[in-house]
A and B are shown apart, each in its own frame.
Chain A
Amino acid sequence: MPPDSNVAKKSDSPVRVEARHRVRLMLTCLCDIYFGEVGISTVKILEHLNCEVLFDKEQTCCGQPPYNAGDWSAARQVAGLTMRALLESEDPVVMPSASCAAMIREGYPVLYEGMMHPEVFELGEFLVHQLKIRSWPVTTANPPAKRRVAFHRACHGRGIGLTNEQEMLVGSLPWIQLVRIAQGEQCCGFGGAFCATHGAISAGIGMEKLHNIMKAGAEEIVSGDMGCLLHLDGLIKKNKLPLRTRHFAELLAEAIAP
């Protein structure tokens, strides 16, 4: 576990980013398929912080699904396309998923032994460590009502050394009250193809997580990875639980004046 000095500290005054950055968006396949709003929110967030966002329409997927399933030859083919695109320019790549960022940083050097991975950032990581945002600059004139939110730290953040970055930004929104969940460090049970091949185990883990979240009195689950959200949302709907799921980028975008 990271020593405390690594944990980003929250400060009170919002920081405005003066220098103009150019960043490339990697949308990720789940945003392409299901979570368009997360991609839109990501662009709004970056532009709000004075970044110029580029989007290469030829992009597809990082290759993690077959990689995790053990089909490394399929993974290499998909990763090859993404890597070539990523290496085309020097502008940093930002993506709203720690899982895909971990795939590129940790997985690519395994697939291509000893290779240097392209420079990629998870969104929260980029905001906190590159743009030095500690507290979200709220501009909306119509703040939503106060609500209790459980933040789920997606496990693949571990792979890229993420700690409380996303949580800190969400927690800085005046209308969000973060609740502490028991065994918060535990996985949600998604695990890619695992969630279908090992359905009972996956659902067991997920239901335990949801149970702990409801016990903490939250009405909304916020996380930074779409895999977790997809799986938890499926469980919530099947079991008709009084919970909803959101990506943290959507919450930050909500705070920006239209």
Chain B
Amino acid sequence: MKAKPVNHPAVEAFARQLAETTRDSVRATSVKVIESRKARLVDAFPDLEATRTQASQIKDFVLANISNLLSQLEMKCRLNGVQVHWAKDAESARKIILDICKEAAPDGGTIVKAKSMATEEIHLNKHLIDVGYNVVETDLGEFVVQIDNDTPSHIVAPIIHKNRREVAKSFEREGLGPYTESPEQLAAQARKHLRERFVEAKIGISGVNFAIAESGRLVLVENEGNSRLSTTAPDTHIAIMGLEKLLPSEADLPLFLKLLAGSATGQRMTVYTHLISGPRRKDEDDGPTAVHLVILDNGRSKVLNGPYKDILKCIRCGACSYVCPVYRQVSGHAYSHVYSGPLGAVLAPALEGIEALPELAKASTLCGACEEVCPVKIPIPRMLLQLRDEAMRKGVAENPIPWTLFTFGATSGLRWRTGLKMLPMARIAKHPLKDGWTEFRELPKKEGRDFRKWWNGRS
């Protein structure tokens, strides 16, 4: 008799074929960042709990007043000379960006890119490359992702799943220099290659970490200097942001800069912080002559009006992934979406609809570590539960356990006690979860005394 093939949920199936070296790489970085994160944040804020509450409330304010704040941002940007575009979905965002590119560089050529998850979300690179542009990722991690034809495995650390040897081999294959595993020399090789691209590029594309409604300033943080070059060397700078990436006022910025750096990389501050207030002025010698801001909806308005609204408070620090026990076992690619980890497990189905990703929310132990580290206190476990409920109600998720029998027993004391007496038989009975348990564990046995017998014997 042939054994019935087991259908594992996607994340579990992915984990089963993942190389141990990949897991080791993910775990090593995750553990390191989480350890420095805590020390850094406790050091930076006398009362971290209160600080997170404050940040969370500022983001609540943003979501509650989002149309007004977006209008304010648009107006301020225009006054600053930044051209603002609204993109309702990925397709319109790609079209807006392509039109700008065609005008700025009609004959094609090089486009330098700073790290941006929003461009990953709309699959921008492929689109621009298809029409003939030479799109070059300039963030070291994203550069490796690009030459390896891979996708980011963490929203902050795109190559968290690779070790140094793998990166060294890719560099050698691409002819970037002699084989070396020294991080400094690898960085130097990439820098040399990328410098030339910065010089020839007419267009730079970046994301946005924070957009300040009060002033229209676009804030970018980074550690390598490539964002500075991408946004200032070419004549045209295109920035793209999800519409939730707002801060109300300039005064909010220091708090969020410190929280983001501490949570994302365990740093006091990132090496570079860019405050972009518009294109080159008359009295300035350099900087882009045109700055465009593309504000992306792509499902966000729908999320704003639904039960998963809080996920839009996210500032993309990636701490929830680093701390997540499941993420550490499976890496970001297991989530089959640009946004991975606990953040992705909520945001991806919220954006795409539960029908598209009905099982993703089940790939969690609900341990709550994500919520505990989240700088804006997003209740991720609660939303994972809501997603499970939604999937069940709509009948789009598989229900491996028929709860009817359990419910029948657990809704009457008498039936419950009768059930308890029959339990020893359950050890030999079939149960939908039994194989999944015994593949890795011994079946539990009742040990010691029975409580009810003991209690009855006392009185």
Chain A residues with a Cβ under 8 A of chain B: 1-3, 27, 29, 31-37, 39-40, 43, 55, 57-61, 63, 65-72, 74, 77-78, 80-81, 106, 110, 155-156, 158-159, 183, 185-187, 189-206, 208, 230-231, 233-235, 237-238
Contacts and interface: CB of A to CB of B under 8 A. Distances in A.
B428 to A, nearest CB: 16
Contacts of B444: 34, 230, 233-234
B145 interface: no
Interface in B404-459: 404, 406-407, 409-413, 416-417, 420, 423, 433-437, 439-455
B365 A202 contact: yes
Contacts of B96: none
B441 A203 contact: yes
Nearest to A154: B367
Nearest to B12: A198
B397 interface: yes
A74 B404 contact: yes
A191 B406 contact: no
A70 B446 contact: no
Contact of B413 (A60, A156, A231): A60
B31 interface: yes
A86 to B, nearest CB: 14
Contact of A159 (B47, B368, B407, B433): B368
Closest 9 A/B residue pairs (Cβ): A234-B441, A196-B436, A70-B388, A191-B365, A58-B413, A187-B367, A203-B440, A155-B367, A39-B451
B369 interface: yes
Nearest to B431: A196
Contact of B363 (A1, A69, A198): A198
Nearest to A57: B413
28 contacts: A1-B48, A1-B372, A32-B416, A32-B452, A36-B446, A39-B451, A40-B448, A60-B416, A63-B410, A65-B403, A69-B401, A69-B403, A77-B407, A155-B365, A155-B367, A158-B369, A183-B31, A190-B365, A193-B362, A196-B433, A196-B436, A197-B9, A197-B436, A201-B326, A201-B329, A204-B329, A234-B442, A234-B443
Given A40-B454, A69-B403, A155 B436 contact: no
Contacts of B407: 66, 74, 77-78
B16 interface: yes
B436 A199 contact: yes
Contact of B448 (A37, A43, A58, A59): A37
Nearest to A62: B410
A27 B410 contact: no
B82 interface: no
Contacts of A186: 325, 369
Secondary structure type dominating chain A contacts? helix
Nearest to A42: B451
Contacts of B369: 155, 158, 185-187
A117 B435 CA distance: 36
B137 to A, nearest CB: 31
Given A66-B407, A186-B325, A203-B440, 15 more contacts: A33-B420, A59-B413, A70-B361, A74-B403, A78-B406, A78-B407, A81-B412, A191-B365, A193-B400, A194-B364, A198-B8, A199-B12, A199-B440, A234-B441, A234-B444
A105 B295 CA distance: 40
Contact of B399 (A60, A67, A71): A71
A200 B433 contact: no
Contacts of A208: 27
A17 B291 CA distance: 70
B119 to A, nearest CB: 30
Interface string B363-385: 11111110110000000001001
Nearest to B371: A158
Given A60-B413, A63-B410, A196-B433, A238 B372 contact: no
B410 to A, nearest CB: 4
B339 to A, nearest CB: 19
Contacts of A33: 420, 423, 446
A163 to B, nearest CB: 12
A77 B400 CA distance: 19
